[in-house]
Amino acid sequence: MNTIKVLTVDDHPILREGIAAIIANHDDIALVGEAGNGREAIERFRQYRPDVTLMDLVMPEMNGIDATIAIRREFPNARIVVLTTYRGDVQAAQAFDAGAFGYLLKSSLRKDLLDTIRSVHAGQRRIPTEIAVAMAEHRADGTLSERELEVLRQIAAGSANKIIAVHLSISEETVKGHVKSILSKLNANDRTHAVTIGIRRGIISLEQ
């Protein structure tokens, strides 16, 4: 039986240690390398040519989405599983658009990591049921434009329309138009509801 070579990419050493511990006692899976950010991930992938890469989403220097795109561009057959704390359908859609084969919540590592590695290595795609359902529910929803995303982030920061207009160098009427469009696309009742939906679905992040 061929051993599945795994590369783990996460900026938190404790999580990498946890993954190593889960894998350690299984003869069919071997951890061959680790990286702490997206740029290191590309270098380590070239070095180790892993069968499956476990990729964090949010990291310094280069995030997991950009690293996945870069690796898949150079190695089209790369099998990448995104590891994340985010349950939003938008991040999951971005991950699969970037070329990921799997999407695994960090809260489910101990329960689902080994099966996910084996399934993805076998060519299957893996995604938590709750996220797959959310992706299906929002498939027909309108996508926010870059400007609308900027406005939504400003709203999340507590800015009024007049302040948003100044920050983005647009008129207050234009801001009102963007807000109206945002509420419509997100099926939101008001600005606060729009922010709540945006955070839950992963359209915006409080870290931004």
The two structure tokens encoding residue 86: 């985010």
Gap between the terminal Cα atoms of the chain: 45
**Quick one: pLDDT band at residue 186, thresholds 50, 70, 90?**
confident
CB 89 within 8 A of CB 201: yes
Share of the chain above pLDDT 70, in %: 96
Q: How many CB atoms neighbour CB 100 within 10 A?
A: 28
CA contacts within 13 A on the Cβ side of 26: 19
pLDDT at 129: 84
pLDDT at 201: 82
Strands of the sheet with 80-84, listed across from one edge? 29-35, 4-9, 52-56, 80-84, 102-105
Which CATH number applies to 146-201: 3.30.590.20, 1.10.10.10, 1.10.3720.10, 3.30.830.10?
1.10.10.10
Fold equal for 4-137 and 146-201: no
Q: Which pTM value belongs to this model?
A: 0.72
Domain residue ranges of the chain, discontinuous segments joined by +? 4-137, 146-201
pLDDT at 208: 44
Give the pLDDT confidence of 50-105 residue by residue, as tens digits. 999 999 988 988 999 999 999 999 999 999 999 988 777 788 888 998 999 999 99
- Measure the CA–CA gap between 69 and 103, rounded to whole angstroms: 15
Fold of 4-137: Rossmann fold (3.40.50)
- Measure the CA–CA gap between 101 and 80, rounded to whole angstroms: 6
pLDDT at 179: 94
